[in-house]
Structure 1
């Protein structure tokens, strides 16, 4: 396993993190991803630790806290051997204060997560989505209080726009408060919007990226392709995956299949290996319904693509930059160079 720094912190984390949204299956939507129970989760944790994957990502919003409970039971007795990340901000009930990232919600949610996880601290606490109704200073002071109390070690954000994240960083610096060290974001071969603004921001501000859904809702798992339809019992056959235009999807799977034939690896491993070589990526959050799938995904760390293979995947997945980036590159490329991949 390759180990990298957690964004701008000094903490070393594995390049692949096991995501636990499949633990519990507490809603119709999440059951389409998986419904891993305690025994199954414990086995997945065993395999992860055996292969050097020591970080586990969850959220209070996954199955209304059930994912955290199952993870807590699965790591019981070996807390010092693992890195735990969780998130808050998604709805946890019908009340007006059970959603968002107000000071009240952040502190109460953290206390509840610690209880469900069976631990007295979380290594990485993340704001799951941006809350435009709460002042950022309020979020920052609440997170600072949790750090000072020893209940969280670091904090990050997820699904922020570039200006949301930059404003938080600037306000943290202005008030002498801890900065977010990571941004958990959606980034895959079929969805490269992340590269226009969030990647340059991460490079400039030393914010690491935790990638969620790196296989685009299993679309790059190898189960589908130009001439292969999804199995009827798979997540892909439901609405629990992310929409991708077919022409883009099949251009990417065609290119992936060629590289797979050259390296003798699975499509998932090749797609993950491409991501592991991208700038700012601290870790990729992978999901797994079973041990075989987990072992296959974790093996991606051993794969290094050649420059030619990377270029082929880059070309197949390329999309035109959004405005104003296409204008900057067309008129002022020498003054606005894109990130070096």
Structure 2
């Protein structure tokens, strides 16, 4: 397993991170989830990403139990705050001081740790002053409950404003966690150049486009039994936009490119996002340990220029590049 620095910080993280969105506490049983975490550790993954909203806090608890007994100093544990949790009361979401200060304590308790390495704003909150949010994050850091601060799915101008406040407060805003894959490149035009300037690294999610880039979904065919597209707990909603025949036909054309590179299609997809120098880590998920092993083989892979050009030639007509696609729902619409 290779490691990379997280932005311009001194923190090194495994370039492939393990995330438990849509799996732990929801799509797979805890025994299977724990087996995936143990396999990730076996493969050299040290970085684990979760969020309080995943399975309405259950995912954090599952991850905490799966990591119990591991040397804490050898792990990098990330979590997030923003989306509704618990009963979904009027202060159970957003980036208010109240919600942040209560949420970090809940996350630490569920994860079974005294601190997280990275605490992330899961979306931008346009109903809370940014100054209030950043001052609360600064207090979380000063209390020793988080070492670094990050954001997820923020636009370039939002990241720049938060970074300026973080500097004034003398805390480290070091990361952005956006969706990024061969098919979804909305960060390339604005977010990546801004983050490169500010010393912020990308921790990207869904590098395999919720599984579509594995090639297992075939045009004109029903989704495989037990796949994310058949998951009624949230997975099917997320993957739906990619299950068009024009997309699936293009994805199938990537198989000869993967074969030529000596990679599985999943490995090709993960390796592709890791070619971006602003990417500090790619988050993978799994419902079976063998999926972890397959994806981890992308670590350290360098794709040559001909391979990258061949990929672009195949997927160009179906790539989403519009920065306007990075959106945050209004808090009043969350409940």
| Residue matched to 2:142 | 148
State whether structure 2 residue 118 is matched by structure 1 residue 160: no
- 2:12 is matched with 12
- Does residue 70 of structure 2 align to residue 69 of structure 1? no
* 2:237 maps to 1:236: no
RMSD between superposed Cα atoms in Å: 2.0
The alignment's TM-score, normalised by the length of structure 1, stands at 0.86
Number of the residue aligned with 1:89: 82
Instruction: Name 1:256's counterpart in structure 2.
Output: 254
1:104 to partner: Cα distance: 0.9
Whether the 8 Å contact between 1:19 and 1:287 is mirrored in structure 2 is yes
CA gap 1:45/1:232 in 2 versus in 1, 3 angstroms:
closer
Separation of aligned partners in 2, 1:210 and 1:19: 11
1:117 corresponds, among 111, 116, 122, to 111
**Structure 2 counterparts to residues 194-209 of structure 1, below 5 A:** 194-209=187-202
Inter-CA distance 7–248: structure 2 relative to 1 (3 Å threshold): farther
Contact map agreement 1:226 1:253 (CA 8 A) in 2? no
Structure 1, unmatched stretches of 5+, are 26-33, 325-341
Partners of 1:239 and 1:41 lie apart in 2 by 21
Secondary structure at the counterpart of residue 159 of structure 1: coil
1:40 matched to 2:32? The reply is yes
Distance 1:302 1:203 in 2: 21
Tell me the distance in 2 between the aligned counterparts of 1:105 and 1:46: 32
Give the deviation of 1:309 after TM superposition: 0.5
Deviates more, 1:289-298 or 1:312-321: 312-321
Higher relative contact order (CA 8 A, sep 6+): 2
Q: Post-superposition shift, 1:77?
A: 1.4
Alignment match, 1:126: 120
Task: State the Cα distance separating 1:261 from its structure 2 match.
Answer: 2.1
Structure 1 stretch 162-171 or stretch 274-283: which is displaced more? 162-171
2:265 aligned with 1:267: yes
In 2, Cα distance between equivalents of 1:139 and 1:97: 14
Aligned residues: 314
- 1:177: how far off? 3.1
Partner SS for 1:284: strand
**1:160 Cα deviation from its structure 2 partner:** 0.7
Q: Which runs of 5+ in 2 are unaligned?
A: 231-235, 325-335
Question: Does 1:170 find its partner at 2:172?
Answer: no
Q: 1:204, CA displacement in angstroms?
A: 1.2
Could you give the per-residue CA deviations for residues 245-266 of structure 1, whole angstroms, max 9, x where no partner exists? 7366246414421212213321
Say if 1:256 and 1:271, in contact at 8 Å, map to a contact too: no
Contact 2:251 2:315 in 1 (8 A): no
Q: Contact (CA 8 Å) 1:101, 1:134: kept in 2 or not? A: yes
TM-score by length of 2: 0.88
Which stretch shows the higher mean deviation, 118-127 or 177-186?
177-186
Using the alignment, how far apart are the partners of 1:251 and 1:193 within structure 2? Answer: 22
Structure 2 equivalent of residue 28 of structure 1: none
**CA-to-partner distance for each residue in 1:121-174, whole Å, 9 max, x for gaps?**
11111111110011111111111111111110111000111111111112223x
Residue 287 in structure 1 maps to residue 281 in structure 2: no
